[in-house]
A = this chain, B = another copy of it.
Amino acid sequence: TRARMKDTYERVDADLQALFPRLFGGGRAWLAMTGEDLLDAGVTIMAQPPGKKIGSLSLMSGGEKALTAVALVFAIFRLNPAPFCMLDEVDAPLDEANVGRFGRLLREMSERVQFIFITHNKATMEVAEHLAGVTMHEPGVSRLVDVDVAEAVRLAAV
């Protein structure tokens, strides 16, 4: 229905506006409608990383795109917190400063959402409360080992 879509759009837009500057350390982002009618118009993201002009998303860098996408996914989670969220190496394109901000937001969001995340990044591993290590000591066969962070860093280097 029109009212439901309007509510969804406005709440995700508001949360995107709040989360983007926290992930980027500044700047702003918001949603825009491509048409008049709420029921069939398309939705686009407008983003302005700190110090830059508002430009087309396609000119953004690999890391900027990934971080903007995380802001949007987290904004949707604030609207409708699914029981869990699984993230597969979303921090791979990020530099250390952005990985830090991403980790802090992850920790905060985890009060309402369960996060299960795959990462090769030591800074993100340190955000985890529990770590599950997957190994193939027997080649081709996956098994699980419990690891602590120090061990985890070693395991990633095996």
Contacts and interface: CB of A to CB of B under 8 A. Distances in A.
Interface of A: 50-53, 62, 89, 92-97, 120, 136, 138-140, 156-158
A120 B61 CA distance: 14
A140 B97 contact: no
Given A62-B89, A89-B62, A139 B51 contact: yes
A52 B139 contact: yes
B120 A156 contact: no
Contacts of A157: 95-97
Contact of A97 (B50, B92, B97, B158): B158
Contacts of A62: 89
A158 B62 CA distance: 17
Given A62-B89, A89-B62, A96 B156 contact: yes
Nearest to A27: B139
B120 A51 contact: no
12 contacts: A51-B138, A51-B139, A51-B140, A52-B139, A52-B140, A89-B93, A92-B92, A92-B93, A94-B120, A95-B120, A95-B157, A96-B156
